[in-house]
Each structure stands twice: as C-alpha cells, then as structure tokens.
Chain A
Amino acid sequence: MFGEGILKGMAETARNFVGSYTSEERLVTVPYPEKRLPQHEAARNFPFLVYDGEDWQKGLRCVACQICEKECPPKCIYIVKDVTRKPDHIGKLQFQPKVFDIDTSVCMSCQICVEVCPFDAIKMDVEYELSTADRFGKLLLDKRDLAKPNEYYWKIHPTEAAEVDSRLGADRVKAEAKAKAAAVPKANPAPLPQK
C-alpha cells in the first residue's frame, strides 16, 4: 500500500510521544534552570589556582615556574614572578607569582596547563554559568579571582583531590623524616680540635 512507510514512521512518533508521559527513558529533557543536571567528575571548564589553608596568598601552591604559560596552546596565561619567596607545603622556600592572569576569552579549556603543572597548583574548575555583560574586563581573571581553596577542589573533583592530597602528604612525611634524620647528629657535635 502506498504510504505504508509513512504510517509506520508515524507509529514510531506516536510511541515516542505517548512514551514520554509513561516511561522515563523517553522523557529526556531537563527543565533548566529550575533543575540542573549534576556534572561529571571529570568535567572541565576554565582553570583555577588551588590554595591550602585559610590564607589564599600564603597557601597558594603556585611557584611561578611558568611551565603552564609556556605550554598553553593559545597563550592565555600571563605570569610575572615575584622576587620575594614563601615556604610551600613542606617548608621549602619557593617563588610565587606576583601577577597570574588568565584570559578566559582566549582559554580553550584544553587542560594542558593542568597536565604539565608539577606542583598541582592549577586545576580545572567546572563553573559554567559565567555570562557577563562586561566583554573584556570580567573575562580577564587575575590571581585573586583564580585562587580557590582546596576544600572547593575536593567538592568538585573528589577523586583527583584525594590522590593529590595523598601525594602531597607523602611528600610532607618524607620531608619530615629527612629533617629528623638530619637533626640527630647535631645533638652531639664532634669536639673541636684543641689548638
């Protein structure tokens, strides 16, 4: 019969239409913004800088090695190294960035800066509701905008944060053990040679 194919197609459409009221797998839309789907853990949008503890300047993990700046494909990171140093999580004195800007209008969220960072200082944020009416200023994020606490990192990427913290904790334990081993001989110094 001519038209049979069309009728068969319409039966499919009807099945989907009626099914969207009865079965969950056929109703696929989510009424955003009243309801938001949870994001995957691996999702990424723009980068942010992690700091440990309460003080964002003292706890900032970034040591201004500028590796992320060099490896960034569209070159959206701008770093100026500071001359003063500050201690990192194991007490070693490290450089810090005086200026750390990311131009989010250029950033393509490729995550290469996160991959190459040796200090777990820059990680990917998942914030996506970033619309702003200010075309240039609000899209250039500076060090203060980018710095977010480690607790936030735990909230958005729990598995990664657990792995990073266990590694940094292991570093700290190793450093403390080394410091203790180096401190022991100093308790009994060798007697000075008599003149």
Chain B
Amino acid sequence: MIPGSKETVAPAGAGRADTPAFVLRPGSSADGSPAGDQLEISMGPQHPSTHGVFRMDVLLEGERVVRLKPVFGYLHRNHEKIAETASYLAAMPYTDRLDYFCSLTNNWAYALAVEKLAGLEVPLRAEFIRIITAELTRLQNHLCLAGFLLQDMGASGTPLMYAFREREKILDLFESLTGARMMCNYMRFGGCRCDLPAGWLEQAKTLVDNFPRFLDEFEALLNENEILMSRTQGVGVLSPQLAVNAGITGPMLRASGVNYDLRKVDRYGIYDRFTFRIPLGAHGDVYDRYLVRVLEMRESIKILQQALRELPPGPIVDPKAKLRGFRPKAGEAYGRIEGPKGELGFYLISDGSPNPYRYRVRPPSLVNLTVLEDLCLGQHVADVVIILGSVDIVLGEVDR
C-alpha cells in the first residue's frame, strides 16, 4: 500500500495468509470481501479430511460455498531440483515419494522417460513384471481411495479397515519383491531391479483369485447404502467439457464420461496384449468417481490374471543399461503412464551429463485440483470434503 495513492485498503482477511481462522464482517461483496452473512473459513493444513497438508480458503454464504481457493505447497520438498543435481539413478528413490501410495507406478513413469531418452529396450519379462506391479499398485490405491472417501463421509473406519485389510496383502507382496512396503525403488532403466523370489507368483495368484470375492463384499457393504448415495449422487458434478478443457485425466475424467485411458491410447509397456475394459461414468458426480474406481479394480484383476498366467522367463534388465556412470545423449523425452490418479508424466532434458538438465513432473493430482472451485461452487461445505476426497489427491504429488 503506497502512502498517498488512491487505492483502497483491502480489508484484512480477504485471502491473506496471516488471517485468523474465520472472519465475519459487513460490507459489499463487489470487491470480493465477505458480505453480510458470509463467512470465510480456512480449512487449514492440519485437517483430518484434507488428504494431507492442504489448505482451502472457503467463502461461505450460510452453508453454501461462494468462493474456494486451494492453497498448497506445504509439502514442497524440492524434488525437481534435487533430481537435477543428483544422478539419474539417485532420482529414482525420490520418485517413490511423489505419490507415496503408488511408488511403483511413479518409478515406472520415470524409467519410461529415461528409457525414451537413452534409447534402452526393456526385456519381455520385465515388461510383464512392470504391468503386474502397476496393476497391484492401482488396486491398492483405489482401495485407499474408497476407504478414505468413506472415512471423510463419516463411516468412521469400517470400510477403511476392510480395504486396508486387503491392501496389507498387496503390501506384503511388494515387501517380498522389492524389500519395502511403500518406498519400493524397484524399476531400473531398462528393466527391473531384481527377479521374483520363490513363491511370489503363487502368492500373487492366490491374492488375485480371492480379490473378486472381497470386492463383492465391499460393494455389498457400500454401493447401495442410502447414506452414501444421497450424499454423493448429484454432488460435485464435473461436465465432460470442463474436464477436457482443464486437462483432467484419470478416473475423474472417465467418471465424467470421456473415454480416455493412456493404457489404451498410448499402449505403453505391453498393455495391448491384455483385454480389459474402461469403465465410464454417466453423471460425473462423486458417486460416479467412486464407482468408476471400484470397477477399475475389477478390470485390474482381469489384467493381473492374464499377466500372471503368461509371465515368460527371461532377463530382467536390458544388458546395455549401466547402473553407474549413466550418461544419456543430449535430447529430451516425455514419458507418461496412466497412474492410478491420472496421467503421470516426466519431462527430461539431458545435456549429456550424469544428471538431467531439466526434470519436470506432471502431477495428476495437481492438475485435477485446478477444477476444485468449479466443482464446489454452490455446494454445502460438508460436500467440499467429499468432493476433495473424490478427486483423490496426494500432497506428495501436488507439491513435489
């Protein structure tokens, strides 16, 4: 504010970071400041339902949302800068921690980008293992989402714990294969780090064969529940035009009816060998986003059954790939996969040195968050929590 200028003083509380938790003041709403019975709430970074350290400045008129501003950056960890100063291999464990639920798909997207950059080929067995681990990751991510969404709605823990009971079995598989439950660090440039241990294949087959029965129980628990239906149907409707214009990808896009799945469009890896369908939603509301994910779990089971049956023997990694002293030629590459949350892309520019010149992550959660205000306008404040839950964000990815 410059002394002597004609500009008016903006009322304290109109979207500044040092405001108290809520502000109630009279005034016209022409300049955006709260009017008569408007309430500005900061659903702050410490909140049980914001899926991480995420803040929303919500302007409410009664119970209805008039304006919503998402504020993030609380989990920014300089991932891109670290990857630009460390070597290509050293950036791999950091990619685990982007979308920390889905570390194996993050690893695959990064490995894909580097393989495009360096011209490495992946042997067939490694491609199969990559698909198996990616679909297991998709299963456990959608389980997390279903559980957390129901938790946000107030079903205090029961669907969450049932989902996590199955997720534990998948994490057991990850631990026996990669050594860690969540931070797997398993993909390498040109293949995978190590081969399947003895007995892993049988354990995976048992899990995949028992999963549809669990999904039947889970859907019986939830799908026709009147509370769930009345709270989620018609809430947070995303039109397909807005979804495409805003660059939304993943189950959120497909729930609005747009048939776009990178596994069918790009056919990266060897996805074109497997038959699976793409579930599409009709309304684009929260219920559709939840149901699309449950149906995607069933399609993932189909892919897993086929892949586990047809897994060929062979090498695990491209013999041309070097672990140390890896210097791809100068150039650029963009590698993208259909992650469980959307299109996860890595853009790499190499100048011939051991570390990337530019390393950029396209985070699906961040891009999907940009329409949060449009989804929440006119809804109740209680629905804001549910809509945010259905977007399926992970702050590790949003903030990097």
Identify the A interface with B (CB < 8 A). Answer: 2-6, 8-9, 11-13, 15-16, 28, 40-44, 67, 71-73, 108-112, 115-116, 124, 159
CA distance A112 to B89 in the complex (A): 9
If over half of B's interface residues share one DSSP class (helix, strand or loop), that class is named, otherwise mixed; here it is: helix
The interface residues of chain A lying within 8 Å CB-to-CB of B177 are 42
Is A67 in contact with B168, judged by CB distance below 8 angstroms?
A: no
Bound-state CA distance A4–B323 (Å) is 59
A–B Cβ pairs within 8 angstroms, 5 of them: A4-B224, A5-B223, A5-B224, A6-B225, A72-B90
B93 on interface, CB distance cutoff 8 Å: yes
How distant is B91 from chain A, measured CB to nearest CB, in Å? 7
Q: Specify the chain B residue showing the minimal Cβ separation from A115.
A: B323
| A-B pairs, 4 with minimum CB distance | A5-B224, A110-B93, A73-B90, A44-B179
Q: Is the CB of B227 within 8 A of A43?
A: no
Q: Tell me if A116 and B324 are in contact (CB < 8 A).
A: yes
Q: Which of the four size classes fits the interface of chain B?
A: 35 or more
Residues on A with C-beta less than 8 A from B353 are none
**B93 contacts A112, C-beta separation under 8 Å:** yes
The segment out of B60-68, B214-222, B245-253 that lies at the interface is B214-222
Docked-complex contact A42 and B93, CB < 8 angstroms: no
Q: Out of A6, A40, A44, which one reaches B226, CB within 8 Å?
A: A6
Contact among B87, B162, B185, B223 for A71, CB-based, below 8 A: B87
Since A6-B226, A9-B225, A112-B92 are in contact, a sample of 14 more A-B pairs with Cβ atoms closer than 8 Å, ordered by chain A residue number, is A8-B224, A12-B221, A15-B217, A40-B172, A40-B176, A42-B179, A44-B179, A67-B324, A72-B90, A73-B93, A73-B94, A108-B183, A109-B183, A112-B90
Q: Evaluate contact between A42 and B183: CB separation under 8 angstroms.
A: no
Contact call B89/A71, Cβ cutoff below 8 A: yes
List of A residues within 8 angstroms of B225 by Cβ: 5-6, 8-9
Q: Is the CB of A111 within 8 A of B185?
A: yes
Residue B193 at the A interface, CB < 8 A? yes
Residues in B28-81 with C-beta less than 8 Å from chain A: none
Nearest A residue to B188, CB-CB: A115
- Known contacts: A41-B197, A116-B323, A116-B324. The answer to whether A110 contacts B185 by CB under 8 A is yes
A189 to chain B, nearest CB (A): 44
- CB contacts (< 8 Å) of A11 on chain B: these are 220
B90 CB contacts on chain A under 8 angstroms:
71-73, 112
Report the bound CA distance from A40 to B181 in whole Å. 11
Q: How far is the CA of A109 from the CA of B96 in the complex (A)?
A: 12
CB distance B323 to A42 under 8 Å? no
Q: Does B137 touch A at the CB level, under 8 Å?
A: no
In the assembled complex, which residues on chain A have CB atoms less than 8 Å from the CB atom of B151? none
A16 to B, closest residue via Cβ: B162
Which one, A3, A8, A28, contacts B220 given CB within 8 A? A8
Chain A residues within an 8 Å CB radius of B221: 8-9, 12-13
Q: A42's contact among B176, B227, B324, by CB below 8 Å, is which?
A: B176
> Within the assembled complex, what's the spacing in Å between the Cα atoms of A195 and B176?
73
Does B180 count as interface, using CB distance less than 8 angstroms? yes
When the two chains form their complex, are residues B89 and A5 in contact, meaning their CB atoms are under 8 A apart? no
What is the CA–CA distance of A23 and B106 in the complex, to the nearest angstrom?
37
**Cα distance, A181 to B90, chains bound together (Å):** 44
A105 to chain B, nearest CB (A): 16
Q: By the criterion CB–CB under 8 Å, are B224 and A43 in contact?
A: no
